[in-house]
A and B are shown apart, each in its own frame.
Chain A
Amino acid sequence: MTEPTAPKGTTVVAEWVVKSPVLKGCSARAAAGFAAAAVALFALAPLALSDFRLGLLAKYLCTAMVAVGICLAWGRGGLLTLGQGVFFGLGGYAMAMHLKIADAGPGNLPDFMQLYGTATELPWWWRPFENPLFALAATVLLPMAVAAILGSFIFRRRVKGAYFAILSQALTAAFAIWLIGQQATTGGTNGLTDIQGFFGYDLNDPVNQRMVYFVIAAALLLLIALARQLIHSRYGELLVAVRDSEERVRFLGYNPANVKLVAYVVAAGMAGLAGALFVPAVGIISPAMIGIVPSIEFVIGAAVGGRASLVGAVLGAVGVAWAKTALSEEFPAAWTYFQGLLFIVALAFLPGGLASLVGIVRRRRAARAGGEPSPALPLGEAA
């Protein structure tokens, strides 16, 4: 044996793990956080907000669902996903196609096809979406499948950094342009509009709108729990390792392409689900909601809040979406500039986003108290 005085296996090692500040207290804090979030989303918000504002919040929460995926892929995996609009759109269109077919009723074509199209029956690629189960599954699985195919090409060829971001943007633009070009089958620039029902429930009824809000809130909490599990798993550690030193990971016998692919595909699935739930909340999906600008907006929210922190990314996404509504009501022209400024300021002066302020303040306070400055917890901020 090369290694002398070997400790007796995992019992000794388990102590290190228990001592580890990363894990200690993490679960208790997380449980409390989830409880607080659930109370806020399911009790406080419905009581405090008007139906109109609650509808807006539902929309913001969809953005936050995309941000959860971005936190995983960008914050943890270093993949600047500037093209989440594609996956959001795939999920959204898959859902909207089914709802349009259902709205039209058996044997009828969706309204816009009667208006613009010459076809007398549904195009072949619309037909599977008549089935609600297929459509529901497709909202998540279709974006994931597309991400898996794209990702395996992109990561095997070792496209990374800015090139990856530009490629993502180009794909988003291409998808939006393609949708606009197919007016007879996708509704073109208008998109799929005026959606009335959601699996048999009338969306004009405020009670059902509330139900949609609750579904979205529950889905968001579910995605946060899922992302949290991934981030704190061994896979999550490996993902950070790939982000920080891809080459080194390769020499440990892993294929970094596969590690990144998992994060990319999961983030795509999350964006797809967000798009799918966005449709009943807003009643429309169109190329303008999934193109380059919305794709950048998804990232801005996560960047401002803190891309490596789940809480930060989610609150950032909701905050930026809310600010957009509030400011564009007051100053319609100024919002775009303000948003660009926000992004630059966040990335230049606070790369960890607002979430990193918590750590900075805590360390300052510890230093002032004369104690040892608490070390920057490598994964702790993700709680």
Chain B
Amino acid sequence: MSELSGLEIRQLRVSFDGFTAVDGVDLDVRPGDLRFLIGPNGAGKTTLVDAVTGLVKAEGSVLFGGDELLGRSVHNIARSGIGRTFQTATVFEELTVLQNLDIAAGAGRGMLTMLRRRKGVPESVGRALETVGLAELADSPAGTLAHGQKQWLEIGMLLVQDVRLLLLDEPVAGMSHDERQATGELLERISEDRTVVVIEHDMDFMRSFARSVSVLHAGKVLSEGTVTEVQADPKVQAVYLGHAAVQDAELILAEPEA
């Protein structure tokens, strides 16, 4: 497994036609963290991830394992070990689960391998199938999967891609309680030797699984720390968590996070 790397964002700015979506963000995610990015709609969370993965142009600096990411193409950044998912699961619906994973494993494949039929799949594909719990469905077309299973398939694709940084955009949206729990446990396991950043609106999910939290508001980092620290921050309570925050904080203290 590749060594752990952290993410170091300095003075990141993204503007669209005069509107500044991300406004001078500094963010450090230490290697092996399970970081949650929270914040109200329009806070710039997804745009931040877009900037890191090369989808939108940005100013400032984004270092991953010491390498500058800004100014590079999307597929180039992906090849240096950074993977992401989207709010709506995008898997290749007409291909099977196995084929989806096999494609994710193959960005570095040579011409000859590409032009031949698939005889077997890399070991990492088999492991990922087990890890995300889709081994039984390996030959089903991805289009027939349930919503939650598609999200897991996407995470599996990131695993076989052997990314060192996973950027997940609302991975548990639309999932049942059990599916959320399974996803959270999956993320905990994954973050043992990879760095994981999760954008999430689900506060219960965040409280159960976050190792650290950054709160974004209007394109800036409002607060950062553990769940307890962030919830205790009066600025966060004011803009985001509202009146329920005090009670929430008590809840957290009562049952320490996993």
User: Footprint of B on A, CB under 8 Å?
Assistant: 1-7, 9-10, 12-14, 16-17, 19-23, 229-230, 232-235, 237-238, 240-241, 244-245, 247-256, 375-376, 378-379
Contacts and interface: CB of A to CB of B under 8 A. Distances in A.
A10 B190 contact: no
B102 A234 contact: yes
A61 to B, nearest CB: 26
Given A2-B190, A252-B78, 14 more contacts: A2-B131, A2-B192, A3-B131, A7-B126, A10-B120, A13-B123, A17-B120, A20-B139, A237-B118, A248-B90, A251-B74, A252-B104, A253-B75, A253-B108
A32 B154 CA distance: 38
A234 B159 contact: no
Interface residues of B, number: 57
Nearest to B126: A13
Contact of B140 (A233, A248, A375): A375
B82 to A, nearest CB: 9
Interface string B146-190: 000000000001010100000000000000000000000000011
A22 B96 contact: yes
19 contacts: A1-B193, A2-B193, A3-B159, A4-B130, A5-B130, A10-B121, A10-B123, A10-B126, A12-B126, A16-B139, A17-B118, A17-B120, A232-B117, A234-B102, A234-B114, A245-B92, A248-B86, A250-B74, A253-B78
B96 A238 contact: no
Contact of A251 (B84, B115, B121): B84
B42 interface: no
Contact of A6 (B115, B130, B190): B130
Interface string B206-230: 0000000000000000000000000
Residue in B73, B126, B157, B194 with the greatest tally of chain A CB atoms within 10 Å: B126
A29 to B, nearest CB: 15
A233 B116 contact: yes
Contacts of B87: none
Contacts of A3: 127-128, 130-131, 159, 189
Interface of B: 1, 53, 73-75, 78-79, 83-84, 86, 90-96, 98-100, 102-104, 106-109, 113-123, 125-128, 130-131, 138-141, 144, 157, 159, 161, 189-190, 192-194
A16 to B, nearest CB: 5
Nearest to B108: A253
B90 A247 contact: yes
B126 A20 contact: no
Contacts of B84: 251
Given A3-B128, A240-B95, A17 B115 contact: no
A232 to B, nearest CB: 5
A175 to B, nearest CB: 30
B126 A2 contact: no
Contacts of A245: 90-92
B95 A237 contact: yes
A16 B116 CA distance: 18
B120 A240 contact: no
B126 A234 contact: no
Given A17-B121, A250-B75, A238 B193 contact: no
